[in-house]
Chain A
Amino acid sequence: MDALYTVTIAMIAGALRVSTPFLFVSLGECLTERSGRINLGNEGVMVLGAMVAYAISYHTGSPWIGVLVAACAGALLGSLHGAICSLARVNDVAMGIAIMLAGTGIAFFFGKPYVEPEAAHLPTLPLGFWSDAPQVRSALEVSPLFFIGIAAAIVLHWFFRATRIGLRVRIVGDSADAARALGLGIDRIRLLATAAGSALAGVGGAFLSLSYPGSWNEGLSSGQGLMAVALVVFARWNPLHCITAALIFGAAGALGPSLQTVGVSKGYYLFYAAPYVVTLVILAATVKPGRSLRGMPGELSIGR
């Protein structure tokens, strides 16, 4: 029973930490995909965001400025993706992978001097104050970015449901013909949605370097940006469901290390793969030949 308690606490702690970057990057990917475009480049955006946030925090001493600049760097790289993809005959899947490699390369290039120094980290909220157990206290040291992420998901949901611009993003994403008939600037809306989505991914990257794992090195991101595509499918393009998806994917990733705390060191890679299997099963169960997944934007290149 004691072991179970330890694992549960470690897993909750891990899930809260690991899920935050997943949440931001999947919200960003969700916004971009709802406008009808896929961005695999968010992986590169995250790594660049992590590096920029760490460097800025080191130089200015303020991690929050780091987060802000990381969002700007993400928006910049995202608008590059958005601008090139709006040219005719450019494939958005391939372009995303090119942006992923370019972003990672630029981050490693300029990030070399920041591997050694120690930058100021983001503060955490001690939500475990009510407990005497040190485990619980350290487990509930939650980053404020986690709550900002949840707020962002709610705002994004409201944005899609209740605002004029949100409706326009959805129209552009569901039917370019309808958007053209309404006189909407398709390329401009997609460009802005890609830039804003990448800004969110950049914040996710900033969490990686400034909160957890909390340092800058070349092995920092383990593919969260690419996984975001699976998370968004899992969440059926709904920002609120992105929270659930991020928590589930985060918990699956946290299970391995938490099992290690009680001496179980084998087999956890299979748990790690579990959410991906579930994503695949969701796809297989809900897609019928000739019909696309419910909730999937009609203009998405991966939907056809």
Chain B
Amino acid sequence: MSSAAQASGQAASSPAAAATDRYYPVRRALEAIVGPLAALLFSAVGFSIFLILLGKSPADFFALMWKGAFASSFSLQNTLQRAAPLLLTALCVAVPAQLGLVIIGGEGAVVLGGLAATVVALPLDGAWPPLVQVAMGLAGAAAGAAWISITGALRAWRGINETVASLVLAYIGIALFNHLVEGPLRDPSSLNKPSTYAIGDANMMGPIPGTDLHPGLAVGVVACILCWVLISRTSLGFSMRVTGGNLRAAQLQGLPVQRLIMLACVIGGGCAGLAGMIEVAAVHGRANASLIAGYGYAGILIAFLSRQNPLAIIPMSVLLGGIGAAGGLLQRRMDLPDATVQVLQGFIFVAILASDTMQGRFAWFQPRAKG
């Protein structure tokens, strides 16, 4: 859908010129970097005006933001911990997007993945922790994959729009999660905040060996790289992109469109489920309402900001994680409400998404014919 529209827009420049211009790949890559950067700068200027109107200094704000997000090892850790789930939930959007699907129900896969991981860990208590963690990861990914593949199946075999179906399923998933956490799976001692039993300290994932970094980060980065290889370096990924570019052409070529849809949903849902598992195993230690933190929705935006490119998801997630991480420091030092970072994120989202319209408008980035 969206990628089909984009592809037809870009096809305005002649393919013959693209073949003769050796520097076209460089120009294309530059356009993909310069566009979002310009939009980022634009949103920073817009936000500075907002701050000046409120009588605060933008220079102080951005200096503190840098300090709170990246300057010390503590703040960097905080940033990367926030970025980790976003890497995975963005993949839940970006992988199906290769087929032209817009799936916005990652939130349901995150919470059910986290819950499944917890449920698997409880009877395994006392087993060798790495084994428990692997089982948790598998269970989380399987639950997420199963949940998103309902959407995929409805799309592939019934022709139901995946955006609406995934949104509705996200609400059903969250209701199911609440039912299980507050009912059959509840730890009776959790009074104020209904939770499942804890998975136990021994089963918690520690930092990446040799560093202080959050373990989910490694999983997320590896997942992004693997998805990128799948999409842009394998024939399977090529068939996905063909399907996204022109469904009719893909069907005429005999590509297994329905199976490709299912595969993309399983991969994407698996990533989102894994995000839920990591939140449980590395942060909360049990499944409760803390899992419903909007990671699914933030992931949608990151995927769109990255133009559905899994490698671009990495810097985008770190950037947004950093903005979130700086919130506490900004609140303490500048007496700004903690929602300040949300306002800045909103400025950035709107500016970068609006900048998509500038794609292909500048001749310099287009291929040029020889001579």
Contact = CB atoms under 8 A, between A and B. Distances in A.
Interface string A78-108: 0010001001111101110111111111111
A229 B347 contact: no
A101 B356 contact: no
Contacts of B301: 94, 97-98, 101
A235 to B, nearest CB: 13
B159 A280 contact: no
21 contacts: A91-B2, A91-B356, A94-B102, A94-B353, A97-B104, A102-B349, A106-B343, A106-B346, A108-B338, A269-B176, A269-B182, A273-B179, A276-B168, A276-B175, A279-B168, A280-B168, A287-B159, A289-B157, A289-B158, A302-B163, A302-B164
Contacts of B104: 40, 93, 97
A284 B178 contact: no
Nearest to B357: A87
B207 interface: no
A273 B176 contact: yes
A180 interface: no
B212 to A, nearest CB: 30
Interface in A256-288: 266-267, 269-270, 272-273, 276-277, 279-280, 283-284, 287-288
B183 A266 contact: yes
A98 B160 contact: no
A99 B337 contact: no
A233 interface: yes
Given A94-B301, A109-B342, A269-B178, A89 B350 contact: no
A86 B346 CA distance: 19
A46 interface: no
B134 interface: no
Contact of A287 (B1, B160, B298, B349): B160
Interface residues of B, number: 50
B115 to A, nearest CB: 13
Contacts of B163: 93, 301-302
Given A94-B304, A283-B164, A287-B160, A276 B172 contact: yes
Interface of B: 1-2, 5-6, 9, 102, 104, 154, 157-161, 163-165, 167-169, 171-172, 175-176, 178-179, 182-183, 297-298, 300-301, 304, 337-347, 349-350, 353-354, 356-357, 359
B175 A270 contact: yes
Contacts of B349: 97-98, 101-102
Shortest Cβ-Cβ A-B pairs, 6 listed: A102-B346, A105-B342, A108-B339, A273-B175, A98-B349, A289-B159
Max count, chain B CB within 10 A of own CB: residue among A80, A230, A280: A280
A222 to B, nearest CB: 10
Nearest to B175: A273
A283 B298 CA distance: 27
A229 B157 contact: no
Contact of B357 (A88, A230, A280): A88
A109 B5 CA distance: 36
Given A105-B344, A301-B1, 20 more contacts: A89-B9, A90-B353, A91-B304, A91-B353, A93-B104, A94-B300, A95-B350, A101-B301, A101-B345, A101-B349, A102-B342, A105-B341, A105-B343, A108-B342, A112-B337, A269-B182, A273-B175, A273-B176, A276-B171, A280-B165
Interface residues of A, number: 53
A131 to B, nearest CB: 34
Nearest to B350: A98
Interface string A282-304: 01100111111000000001111
A227 interface: yes
A206 interface: no
Contacts of A226: 167
A104 B342 contact: yes
Contacts of B165: 280, 283
A105 B345 contact: yes
A93 B298 CA distance: 13
B334 to A, nearest CB: 13
A230 B176 contact: no
A144 interface: no
A101 B297 contact: yes
Given A102-B350, A270-B179, A283-B164, A89 B359 contact: yes
B9 A88 contact: yes
Contacts of B343: 102, 105-106, 109
A109 B353 CA distance: 22
Contacts of B102: 91, 93-94, 302
Nearest to A80: B350
Interface string A211-248: 00000000000010011011001000000000000000
Contacts of B164: 229-230, 233, 283, 302
Contacts of B300: 94, 97
A303 B165 CA distance: 12
Given A112-B337, A269-B179, A105 B353 contact: no
B175 A291 contact: no
Contacts of A97: 104, 297, 300-301, 349
B183 A109 contact: no
Contacts of A93: 2, 102, 104, 163
A280 B169 contact: yes
Contact of A105 (B2, B169, B339): B339
B9 A280 contact: no
A303 B161 contact: yes
A267 B157 CA distance: 32
B158 A284 contact: yes
Nearest to A284: B158
Nearest to A232: B164
Contacts of A99: 346, 350
